[in-house]
Amino acid sequence: MHNEKLFFQYQKIEDKDRNYTIENLSKNQLHFSDPTKFNDPFDCKFSLDHIGTREQWINDYKKLGYNQRKAVKAFNEDLKADYLKKEDGGLYSFNFIKKMNKNIELGLSKVEEYLVYNHPNRESRKQIGIDMNDYIRDTGLPKICCFSEKDNNILMWSHYAYYHQGICLRFRSYKKRCKRNGSVDDILIDLGLMVEGRDYYLLNLYSPKTMEIVTTSIFSEVEYRDDLPESANYFDKLRPIKMYKFLLTKFSEWSYENEYRIMVPDQMLENNLLKYQKKALEGVVFGLKITHKNAKLVYETIKKNYLDEGIVINFYEAKEVPKKYEIKIEPIENVEKYIDSIKPI
């Protein structure tokens, strides 16, 4: 259908007491990952500058609980201590690393994996790293669920589906044209996160506890390039757009992944999970090297939780293309017969 597009998710089948792939499949739920734990250390790594005018910095000190007089005093002290450095054009850059090292000497404490500065006035105690790159990266990023535009990528099967022994899930999305209509689209357009008149593919996601809709999420395409995106500045009004760009940009050598991402704020998740409607799962592809045991396990999971409830799920197999470095995905007419044809190990 022209109003639908399939997105694919490669999965390994773990031989452990708790098999997360099977568990999530049985509960029709998606797991969202912390981008700081991605295998590429450059993925979602921000470049954030801290350059502003004297007035901007003084106003920023006020956010820490200082009044005007104390904010000016703090600005002058940081300038004298060389934490703030005067640049051209009446601008000042802030050296957070130098300031943080000094604060460590003065009694910086580590709480819940981020640094908190113990101000003499405890009521105005604030997180000294609140706007540092690492703090934003560690605590301010949305969680991400990754998909691919292709289900026949040899490398993806090797890397993410345990050497072709796993499966690939096929998810339906629906198309929506972005337009101003007094909805959340208006906000996303104003922020530059969506373009008016452009088509986007969406997936409704639900609470694991109540099955009430939590969010309608966009499948956002990842851009591949050789250079990092333009740095965002702390005081720039366009900072959200530029920071968002870092979440959807990867080094060009990852381009084989043809990746799309669903990004959800951490507070919307329940144990890093959200549910999808069962009919959103179009089908399952069995890998070239899937074992009889795992193919049977996947089928029985689908049968019990989908087929027996009247949900149509299609089954496919990955097959080698003769005389080529290529695999093709073909429908399975009789899945039970297919599973029986796999020799048990």
User: Of the candidates 66, 70, 64, which has an alpha carbon nearest to the alpha carbon of residue 116?
Assistant: 64
Q: What is the mean pLDDT of the chain?
A: 86
pLDDT band at 199 (very low <50, low <70, confident <90, very high): very high
Is 135 inside a domain boundary? no
CA distance 161 to 10: 5
**Between 121 and 207, the higher pLDDT residue:** 207
Q: Do 255 and 119 lie in a common domain? A: no
Q: Give the domain extent around 223.
A: 4-44+142-340
Which whole number is the average pLDDT over 153-174? 98
Q: Is a pLDDT exceeding 70 seen at residue 191?
A: no
CA distance 272 to 253: 28
- Which domain-ending residue is among 86, 103, 130? 130
- pTM for the full predicted model: 0.81
Q: Which residues does residue 167 pair with via DSSP β-bridges, in sequence order?
A: 11, 286
Q: Do 293 and 252 lie in a common domain? A: yes
Q: Do 40 and 58 lie in a common domain? A: no
Q: Do 219 and 146 lie in a common domain? A: yes
Q: Do 36 and 57 lie in a common domain? A: no
**The pair of three-digit structure tokens given for residue 319, joined into one six-digit string:** 């097959």
Q: Is a pLDDT exceeding 60 seen at residue 32?
A: yes
- Which domain-ending residue is among 130, 164, 193? 130
Q: Do 178 and 243 lie in a common domain? A: yes
Q: Which residues does residue 121 pair with via DSSP β-bridges, in sequence order?
A: none
Q: Do 195 and 216 lie in a common domain? A: yes
Which whole number is the average pLDDT over 209-238? 90
Q: Do 122 and 68 lie in a common domain? A: yes
Pairing relationship of beta strands 249-251 and 223-225 according to DSSP bridges: parallel
Contacts of 61 (CB under 8 A, 6+ apart): 70, 71, 74, 75
Q: Which amino acid is at 312?
A: V
CA distance 326 to 150: 13
Q: Do 91 and 35 lie in a common domain? A: no
What's the pLDDT tens digit per position in 72-108? 999 999 999 888 999 999 998 887 667 666 665 555 4
Q: Do 189 and 275 lie in a common domain? A: yes
- Which domain-ending residue is among 106, 130, 154? 130
Q: Do 101 and 170 lie in a common domain? A: no
**Between 275 and 116, the higher pLDDT residue:** 275
Contacts of 83 (CB under 8 A, 6+ apart): 94, 95, 98, 99, 102
**Between 303 and 49, the higher pLDDT residue:** 303
